[in-house]
Amino acid sequence: MKAYLGLYLSIQKSLFECELVLVEILSPLCYPFLMRYAIISDIHSNLEALEAVLAKISGFKVDEILCLGDIVGYNANPNECIDIVRRTGIRCIMGNHDSRASGLEEPDNFTPLAKEAVLWTRDRLSEDNKGFLRKLPRELTIEGFIIFHGSIRDTDCYIIDEKDASDNFHLLENLPCDMKLGFYGHTHVRVALSLQRGKVFLEPDGELKLSTWKRYLINPGSVGQPRDRDPRASFLIYDEFSEKVDFYRTDYDMAATQEKIIEAGLPVELAERLSMGR
């Protein structure tokens, strides 16, 4: 009897594994409109971090890479990072550093460090790349979700507390098509927030299975200047078919980035903070 039971369980396991393989093979054919996205944010002219993240993403079968703004600022390779974004076809929105570096707005409300870095960046950007930054949209709606930089309808505002989140969930709810999902950047802190029965909850940020009963605001963290006490470059993968968000981090050649900051004459504090992830 035990032998038969063991054989039965073995067959069932094999059938289950075959089903999983078939689902992976057939799902793109049955649901060709469902996409897998890599979502990045706040590159901030960190060439080494961007290259490391894109190398990591290349190991996933993604259909498109989206960037939530702030390609430039703080670090020493603004033109090189913009060139990569343009060359690889990454769909990007405008961040507050992008608008200031391009001359679209002035950095009057920036901290002294951020202001010095963005004006340094403005002096070194090619006119072609400035034009590219000026033409970026402030937000984008992409087949059932929205991407924005700081806050819905305001590039400069942050989502840092429960009230900020509640306000943006309200805006999300009142967008066309009754949106349930938004991705944002700006804080440099990876986080997943949900709205359930009018209350904001903090979700786990490793692997998140999305529920149809909740609304979500999700931040992938920063590629080029993380501020959540983990100095590794951060990004996420959003799979529409499995309705899942997976967060990732990767190491990069931080010493090279720091050396470039110092050689460029940018504030040394910008190099030091990379090591601390803040």
In tens, the pLDDT along 5-25 reads: 454 445 555 544 544 444 454
* pLDDT reported for residue 106: 98
Task: Mark whether 79 and 20 lie in a shared domain.
Answer: no
Write out the E strands in 89-190.
91-92, 139-142, 145-148, 181-183
In this predicted structure, the answer to whether residue 267 has a pLDDT above a threshold of 50 is yes
Task: Mark whether 115 and 39 lie in a shared domain.
Answer: yes
User: What span, in angstroms and rounded, lies between the C-alpha atoms of 6 and 123?
Assistant: 71
Q: 55-86 pLDDT, tens per residue? A: 999 999 999 999 999 999 999 999 999 999 99
Task: Mark whether 15 and 40 lie in a shared domain.
Answer: no
Q: 171-223 pLDDT, tens per residue? A: 999 988 778 999 999 999 999 999 999 999 999 888 999 999 999 999 999 99
Q: Which two tokens stand for residue 159?
A: 């989502």
* pLDDT reported for residue 242: 96
Residue type, position 107, single letter? P
Host domain of residue 1: 1-32
Task: Mark whether 42 and 26 lie in a shared domain.
Answer: no
* pLDDT reported for residue 27: 44
Q: 130-180 pLDDT, tens per residue? A: 999 999 999 999 988 999 999 999 999 999 999 999 999 999 999 887 789
**CATH code for position 147:** 3.60.21.10
Task: Mark whether 18 and 42 lie in a shared domain.
Answer: no
Q: 86-109 pLDDT, tens per residue? A: 999 999 999 999 999 999 999 999
* pLDDT reported for residue 128: 98
Task: Mark whether 116 and 187 lie in a shared domain.
Answer: yes
Task: Mark whether 5 and 64 lie in a shared domain.
Answer: no
Q: What is the 3-state secondary structure (H, E, C) of 199-232?
A: EEEEECCCEEECCCCCEEEEECCCCCCCCCCCCC
Distance of CA 190 to the CA centre of its chain: 8
Name the average pLDDT for the chain. 91
* Number of independent structural domains in the chain: 2
44-58: average pLDDT: 98
* pLDDT reported for residue 1: 52
Task: Mark whether 69 and 18 lie in a shared domain.
Answer: no
46-61: average pLDDT: 97
Task: Mark whether 128 and 225 lie in a shared domain.
Answer: yes
Task: Mark whether 59 and 121 lie in a shared domain.
Answer: yes
> CA 156, 233, 110: angle at the middle one, nearest 5?
25
User: What span, in angstroms and rounded, lies between the C-alpha atoms of 72 and 208?
Assistant: 29
State pTM to two decimals. 0.88
Task: Mark whether 146 and 26 lie in a shared domain.
Answer: no
Task: Mark whether 1 and 128 lie in a shared domain.
Answer: no
Residues 6+ apart with CB under 8 A from 195: 165, 166, 169, 201, 214, 215, 216, 217
